[in-house]
């Protein structure tokens, strides 16, 4: 899902420091705001069960069509007043899609604890990557192609596993996703800090996808390994 991210290499290293700080600040504010529709979408999905029928191939088609459709729309509107509302609508959709997994985890006796652990783990990863991004001096743009290959491998593996339904396969994919998207988090944050990304809506989209994938993968892993049935 990272292939719609843009790298403004023409401005690499030449953006004014105050402009870089402004992009980073606006990105953090919008990222925090984007979590609210995500929570709302997840709550609505769990409360109504509206996504329970979206299993197997149907769920995959709805998710892929919706996610890529929204990401395309965000990139088209990122320089207009419609950019933020479209991004927030996307995060609501992603929360709705996540609700099916959350409902499954809540079915465990310790489901609430697993969700909070996944949330805390994701926050911890973000804090570590943000700290690294602000201290590492070297150019990390060379990571892009390797991260893209990793993300595509995870996507293909995930699609295959939808039809295979292997718990072991899900665990392997989840571990890979946590590693790849944690690294993507570092890469995207470094892009903003170094002036490689100058649009805060695009920056928010990239970081949101990183956080979403890390959280979802942690939750899946915790559910498989630590879920306690009544």
What is the Cα–Cα distance from 134 to 112, expressed in whole angstroms?
33
pLDDT of residue 215: 97
What is the Cα–Cα distance from 161 to 170, expressed in whole angstroms?
7
CA angle at residue 49 from 48 to 51, to 5 degrees? Answer: 125
CB 211 within 8 A of CB 94: no
Would you give the distance in Å from CA 220 to the centre of its chain?
A: 14
Which of these, 146, 148, 151, lies nearest to 178 by C-alpha position?
151
Reported as a single tens digit per residue, the pLDDT across 195-220 is 888 899 999 999 999 999 999 999 99
The 8 Å CB, 24+ separation contacts for 79-84 are 79/199, 83/201, 84/30, 84/201
pLDDT tens digit at each of 230 positions of the chain = 333 333 333 344 445 677 888 889 999 999 999 999 999 999 999 999 888 777 767 888 888 899 999 999 999 999 999 999 999 999 999 999 999 999 999 988 888 999 999 999 999 999 999 999 999 888 888 888 899 999 999 989 988 888 887 888 899 999 999 999 999 999 999 999 888 888 999 999 999 999 999 999 999 999 888 777 76
The packing angle between helices 200-226 and 111-135, to 10°, is 140
Residue 49: phi and psi, rounded to 5, are 70, 20
What is the Cα–Cα distance from 192 to 182, expressed in whole angstroms?
16
pLDDT of residue 230: 64
Residue 39: phi and psi, rounded to 5, are -65, -40
pLDDT of residue 15: 52
pLDDT of residue 54: 76
| pTM, full prediction | 0.88
pLDDT of residue 88: 97
**Residue 124 burial (CB count, 10 A):** 11
pLDDT of residue 98: 94
pLDDT of residue 19: 80
Would you give the distance in Å from CA 36 to the centre of its chain?
A: 14
Q: Per the structure block, which two tokens stand in for 210?
A: 């990183």
Could you tell me the residue ranges of all domains in the chain? 15-226
202 Cβ neighbours under 8 A, 6+ residues apart: 5, 6, 74, 75, 78
What is the Cα–Cα distance from 11 to 18, expressed in whole angstroms?
14
């Amino acid at each position: 899902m990272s292939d719609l991210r843009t790298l403004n290499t023409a401005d690499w290293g030449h953006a004014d420091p105050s402009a870089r700080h402004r992009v980073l600040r606006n990105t953090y504010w919008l990222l925090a705001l984007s979590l609210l529709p995500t929570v709302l979408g997840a709550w609505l999905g769990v409360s109504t069960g509206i996504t329970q029928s979206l299993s197997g191939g149907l769920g995959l088609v709805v998710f892929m069509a919706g996610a890529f459709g929204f990401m395309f729309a965000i990139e088209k509107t990122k320089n207009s007043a419609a950019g933020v509302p479209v991004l927030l609508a996307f995060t609501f959709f992603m929360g709705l899609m996540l609700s099916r997994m959350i409902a499954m985890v809540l079915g465990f006796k310790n489901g609430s604890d697993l969700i909070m652990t996944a949330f805390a783990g994701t926050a911890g990863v973000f804090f570590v990557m943000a700290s690294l991004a602000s201290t590492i001096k070297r150019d990390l743009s060379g990571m892009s192609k390797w991260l893209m290959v990793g993300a595509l491998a995870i996507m293909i593996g995930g699609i295959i596993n939808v039809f295979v339904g292997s718990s072991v396969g899900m665990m392997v994919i989840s571990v890979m996703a946590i590693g790849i998207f944690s690294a993507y988090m570092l890469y995207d944050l470094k892009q903003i800090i170094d002036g490689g990304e100058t649009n805060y809506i695009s920056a928010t989209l990239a970081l949101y996808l990183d956080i979403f994938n890390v959280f979802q993968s942690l939750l899946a892993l915790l559910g498989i390994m630590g879920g306690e049935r009544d």
